[in-house]
Chain A
Amino acid sequence: MSSSQGPATTTAGFDSPGEDQLLPQLVAHLREHRARLRHEWSERIQQAGLLHAMTPQEMAAETTSVYDNYVEVLETGSVEALQRYARDLSERIIPRGVETHEVVGIVLLLRDVLARSLFEKYQRDFGLLNRVLDAYEPAANRIANTVAVSFVEERERVIRQQQDALRELSTPVLPVRERLLILPIIGVLDSERARQLTEQLLTGIRTHRARVVVVDITGVPEVDESVANHLVQTVDASRLMGASVIITGLSPKIAQTLVTIGVDLSKMDTIGDLQGGLEEAERLLGYTTSRDDGTGGP
């Protein structure tokens, strides 16, 4: 951001008195025609097919704010308020899937809409028009730059945050109570990740002396043959270490897939939801049920 401080000073500090008057004049013009220009801008945005993730009401509110912030930067030469607003806006629209090119697109459209209105206003005095544009363009480009950078930075921050969250989730062996672990699996399971999960779980079983493990796969979008095999291996390996495994969050669709690819579900203890799984686990740990586990075998 330090590199973009330069133009701000330039915009604010015009030397000749004549130039001094240009920006205030320009700002007054944009304020005067605010309703018309903002409307024109909105239409161009719609024509360009940008921001389709937003409702018309949201569009109206946001474009008004952007417009006012835009004019304010032209007036004060300070981008700080705009920067704050752009970050705030980005934070709101990034989760809705708004892309960088859309944000840059709408700001450039506003720049052009306003430039065109300046053409119209000053078309009779070519010399004055040139001086107005000389004052306007650097400021406008600086605004576009500020918004784009803010958006990208915000986006990176969100991505980092999500990655951190995912990393935390990938060490998910949670000791719930004595002898009971939960392993919530979230996201796509590839071989490498499945292996890590299993290794973590097995080490966790030893560390926490777990006797029951609840593996919750509610967050696994799809189960194909290799994921199913990993699940079976996790169950078997845990059992070798003396821990029973309860699988929860197995949707009917996934259950069907498992049966279709030949996984023997009778060897797995499956329960619909996590709550049910935890209750079953506590039941196992409390030895309150009549279990014949340990006598005889199949």
Chain B
Amino acid sequence: MTGPRLVSILRQGPYLIASIHTALDDSQMTAFQHDLVDRIGRDRARGVVIDVAALDVLDSFATRTLRTIGEVARLRGAVTVVVGIQPEVAFTMVALGMDTGSLHTALDLEEGLALLDRAVGPRRPVTALRGGAA
């Protein structure tokens, strides 16, 4: 596919920052899931921030995909935080009856990284042990 990138995945220290830049259809969403999970393994990331601030809709498929990413990441020893969910989108997800499971959420990128710092702890590999045990 040509044109502007739909998503980007950047590394920052032990974390990955994945940003979705525009509305994705289901196959693009699934491709994003595979790419990100791949990168988590390759980079041995300990935390992942997924920025969805650009999305005006998070329907059942998108939510489920985010959940799956979070669960797979956890099994690989990484904590996933979804950031930037818009107020209207949050309202709609709840009205839709979406269960976001164990997904962590934060207001924005900055808060998401702070949450990862608190959850992962700069050096102790607590999460990896927990992830391994799960």
Shortest distance from the beta carbon of B98 to any chain A beta carbon, whole Å: 9
- Check A239–B111 contact: CB distance below 8 A: no
Interface residues of B (CB under 8 A from A): 74, 79, 83, 85-91, 93-95, 100-102, 104-108, 111-112, 115-116, 118-120, 126-127, 130, 134
- Chain A residues, Cβ within 8 Å of B105: 239-242
Contact assessment for A203 and B118 in the assembled complex, using a CB-CB cutoff below 8 Å = no
A57 interface residue per 8 A CB criterion: no
B93 cross-chain contacts in A, Cβ below 8 A: 237, 240
Which residue of the partner chain, among A211, A240, A296, A298, contacts B94 with CB atoms under 8 Å?
A240
Contacts of A198 in B (CB 8 A): 91
Can you list 11 A-B pairs with a CB-CB distance of less than 8 A? A202-B90, A206-B87, A209-B108, A237-B93, A237-B94, A238-B90, A240-B93, A242-B85, A242-B105, A296-B134, A297-B101
Q: Which 4 A-B pairs have the closest CB atoms?
A: A297-B102, A294-B119, A202-B87, A242-B106
**CB nearest neighbor in A for B104:** A294
Contact B91 A237 (CB under 8 A): yes
**Is B87 a contact partner of A199 (Cβ separation < 8 A)?**
yes
Contact across chains for A296 and B127 when beta carbons are under 8 A apart: yes
Contact present for A236 and B87 (CB under 8 Å): no
The range of chain A's interface size is 20 to 34
* Complex alpha-carbon distance, A224 and B90, angstroms: 24
A126 on interface, CB distance cutoff 8 Å? no
Query: Are A241 and B87 interface neighbours, CB within 8 A?
Result: yes
Within 8 Å CB of B111, what residues of A? 209, 211, 242
CA distance A296 to B83 in the complex (A): 17
Known: A233-B95, A294-B115. A240 touches B90 (CB 8 A): yes
Question: Is A205 among interface residues, defined by CB-CB distance under 8 A?
Answer: yes
Residues of B near A202 (CB, < 8 A) are 87-88, 90-91
Complex Cα–Cα for A291 and B85 (A):
24
Determine if B94 and A236 form an interchain contact, defined as CB atoms under 8 angstroms apart. Answer: yes
Residues of A within 8 A of B116 (CB): 294
A243 within 8 A of B: yes
Most buried by B among A198, A203, A233, A296: A296
Task: Out of A233, A236, A238, A295, name the residue touching B130 (CB < 8 Å).
Answer: A295
Q: How far is the CA of A295 from the CA of B77 in the complex (A)?
A: 10
Instruction: Tell me the chain A residues, 173-204 only, with Cβ under 8 Å from chain B.
Output: 198-199, 202-203
A202 vs B107: C-alpha distance in the bound complex, in angstroms?
Answer: 11
* Complex-state Cα separation, A72 to B94, whole angstroms: 67
Contact A294 B79 (CB under 8 A): yes
Q: How far is the CA of A198 from the CA of B95 in the complex (A)?
A: 11
Residue of B nearest to A199 (CB): B91
| A233/B102 in contact, CB under 8 A | no
Binary CB contact string for chain A from 233 to 271 against chain B (1 if under 8 A, 0 otherwise): 100111111110000000000000000000000000000
Q: Are A295 and B91 in contact (CB under 8 A)?
A: no
Query: Distance (Å) between the CB of A213 and the closest chain B CB?
Result: 12
Let me know if B119 and A205 touch, CB within 8 A. no
Instruction: Quote the shortest CB–CB distance from A204 to chain B (angstroms).
Output: 9
For A237, what are the chain B residues with a Cβ–Cβ distance below 8 Å? 90-91, 93-94
Given contacts A237-B91, A297-B102, whether A206 and B107 have CB atoms under 8 Å apart is: yes
A203 to B134, CA, bound (A): 36
B107's partner among A236, A242, A294 (CB-CB below 8 A) is A242
CA distance A209 to B111 in the complex (A): 9
Collect the chain A residues with CB atoms within 8 Å of residue B87's CB.
199, 202-203, 205-206, 241
Q: By the criterion CB–CB under 8 Å, are A233 and B127 in contact?
A: no
B102's partner among A238, A240, A243, A298 (CB-CB below 8 A) is A298
A242 to B115, CA, bound (A): 10
